[in-house]
Amino acid sequence: MDVPPQSLPTQSHGSDKTDLYGGIALGVAVLAAMLIANSAFGHAYEDLLHATGEIRIGAIGLAQSLDHWINDGLMAVFFLLVGLEIKREVLEGALSSPQNAALPVIAAIGGFVVPAAIYAAVNWGNDAALRGWAVSSATDIAFALGLCAVLGRAIPPSLKTFLLALAIIDDLMAIIVIAIFYTDTLSVLSLALAAVGIAGLVVLNLLDVRKPALYVVVGLFTWVCVLKSGVHASLAGVAVGFAMPLTRHAGRSLLEQVEHALKPWVSCVIVPIFAFANAGVSLAGIPLASLTAPIPLGIVAGLCVGKQLGVFLPSMAAIRLGLVRLPAGASMGQLYGIAVLTGVGFTMSLFIGTLAFDDETIIALVQLAVLASSVVTAVAASIILMVAAARQTRIDTGAC
C-alpha cells in the first residue's frame, strides 16, 4: 500500500552550526586523547584523570577522582539536556503525536534490541561479559547530528528530525537500562532524600517557577543524594530536565531558554571533555586481533551490523505495510544511510561501558571497539548518504 511521505516537524533543537562545531570539537578531543595516551605523556594523562578533587562545606565534603567528576558530574548536565529534549519532543515535537512518533519509535526499539541480542549471542555463557549487553545499543546524538551538519543538503530536514527523535528515544531507553541494570547497592536513606529532592522539583514545576537558580539548588541536592544512593548520578540530571516547565510566557518557556543556553556548552565543551577523558586508549600491548575477543567482537558486530539491521528492517517493513510513512523528501536509500549512521555509538556506548566493567583491560578493549565501530559506521554512512542523495537528485531532475 502506497502512502504519502510523512511530514515530520522541522528540527527545532539547536542550530546546524552548533551541531557542526560540536561534532568537530568531539572529533578533535578523541584524536587528542588517542595521541596523548600513546605518547610519552601517556602516564601524565592517566595521572591527571586519577587525580582527586574535593568539594567541602564545613564538615560535609565530596571527594572524587577527575574522571569520576567528569562521568558523574559533567555527564549529569549532559543528561539534563537529554531530559529537556525528551520532554519537549514528547509534548510538542516529533514525538507529540502517534503518527509522527511511530516510525522513530519502531526504529529506536529495533536499533536497541537487535544489537543487544547480537552482543548477547556472541558472549552467551559468560555472565561477566554479558554485563556489557547494552554497550552496542546506544546512538551518539552529538556525533550523528554533527555528521549530518557536515553532509548538509545530502540529508533532507525530515530525516534529520527522524534521527533526532530516534536518538532521543534511544537515550530514554539507555536511561531506563542504566537505572535498572547498572545500579550498585542501594542506600535507602539517600534514596529517600533523593525522593524529597525530586518532589521539590515537581513542586517547582507545578508552581511554574521560572527562576533557574532554584532548579539548580534543588537539582544539586538531588544529584548528591542520587550519587550517594548507588543509582548513577546522571539520572538526577534527567529529573531536573523533566521538571523544567514548558509553559510559555511572552512566547518563551523556561525549558526552551535552558535548552538553548545549555546546548552549545554540552555539545562543544562537556561532551568533548568526556570524550577526552574516556577515549584515551593506549594501544601498547593491544593487538588489533584482540578485537576478535568475544566482548569487543560483540560490540563491533552490534554497532556495525546490529544497529543498521535493527533500525532499517523494521522501518522498511512498517513503511511497506503502510503502517507509517517515509519521511518527506527522503528515499529508502537515504533512510538506510541514517540507519547505518546510528551505529556511531560513541558517547553513550563508552559511558555504559564504564558502568558495565571494572577491569581496566576490558574497558580498554571496549573503548577500542567503540572507537573502531564509530569510525567505520560514520565513514560508511557518509558514503551511502552522499550516493543516495546524488541518485535522488538525478531522479528528481529526470536525469535517469
More confident residue, 9 or 265: 265
Closest CA to 237 of 251, 226, 250, 248: 226
Per-residue pLDDT of 53-80, as tens digits, reads: 777 766 666 777 888 888 888 888 988 9
Q: Where do the domains of the chain lie?
A: 16-45+62-182+232-396
Per-residue pLDDT of 116-125, as tens digits, reads: 999 999 999 9
CB 381 within 8 A of CB 148: no
Whole-angstrom distance, CA of residue 164 vs CA of residue 170: 10
Q: What is the pLDDT confidence band of residue 156, given thresholds at 50, 70 and 90? A: confident
Mean pLDDT of 78-97: 85
pLDDT for res 143: 76
Q: Report how far apart, in Å, the C-alpha atoms of 252 and of each of 90, 246, 361 are.
A: 17, 8, 49
- Domain covering 16-45+62-182+232-396 in this structure, CATH number: 1.20.1530.10
Mean pLDDT of 232-247: 87
Mean pLDDT of 351-355: 88
Residues whose CB is less than 8 angstroms from the CB of residue 379 and which lie 6 or more positions away in sequence, other chains included: none
pLDDT for res 306: 95
* pLDDT of 93 above 50: yes
Whole-angstrom distance, CA of residue 49 vs CA of residue 71: 11
Q: What whole-number percentage of the chain has pLDDT above 90? A: 38
Residues whose CB is less than 8 angstroms from the CB of residue 278 and which lie 6 or more positions away in sequence, other chains included: 33, 67, 71, 350, 351, 354, 367
pLDDT for res 13: 42
Per-residue pLDDT of 385-399, as tens digits, reads: 999 888 877 776 766
- Out of 114-128, 133-147, 303-317, 358-372, which region has the weakest mean confidence (pLDDT)? 133-147
Per-residue pLDDT of 177-215, as tens digits, reads: 888 888 767 788 888 999 999 999 999 999 999 999 999
Q: What is the pLDDT confidence band of residue 335, given thresholds at 50, 70 and 90? A: very high
Q: Which helix (H) or strand (E) holds 339?
A: helix 332-341
pLDDT for res 342: 92
pLDDT for res 12: 45
Mean pLDDT of 78-99: 85
pLDDT for res 379: 92
Number of Cβ atoms within 10 Å of the Cβ of 97:
10
Q: What is the pLDDT confidence band of residue 126, given thresholds at 50, 70 and 90? A: very high
Instruction: Give the HSE-up count for residue 106: Cα atoms under 13 Å, Cβ half-sphere.
Output: 17
pLDDT for res 2: 45
Closest CA to 135 of 364, 388, 340, 346: 346
Task: Name the CA dihedral angle for 297, 300, 302, 308, rounded to a multiple of 10 degrees.
Answer: -150
pLDDT for res 10: 47
CB 179 within 8 A of CB 220: no
User: Phi and psi dihedrals of 50, rounded to 5?
Assistant: -95, 0
Residue with cell 511497506: 320
Whole-angstrom distance, CA of residue 248 vs CA of residue 355: 38
**DSSP-derived secondary structure for 113-179:** HHHHHHHHHHTTT-HHHHTTTTGGG---HHHHHHHHHHHGGGS-HHHHHHHHHHHHHHHHHHHHHHH
Whole-angstrom distance, CA of residue 66 vs CA of residue 220: 18
Per-residue pLDDT of 12-53, as tens digits, reads: 444 567 877 888 888 898 899 989 988 999 899 989 988 887
Q: What is the pLDDT confidence band of residue 149, given thresholds at 50, 70 and 90? A: confident
Residues whose CB is less than 8 angstroms from the CB of residue 173 and which lie 6 or more positions away in sequence, other chains included: 108, 109, 112, 137
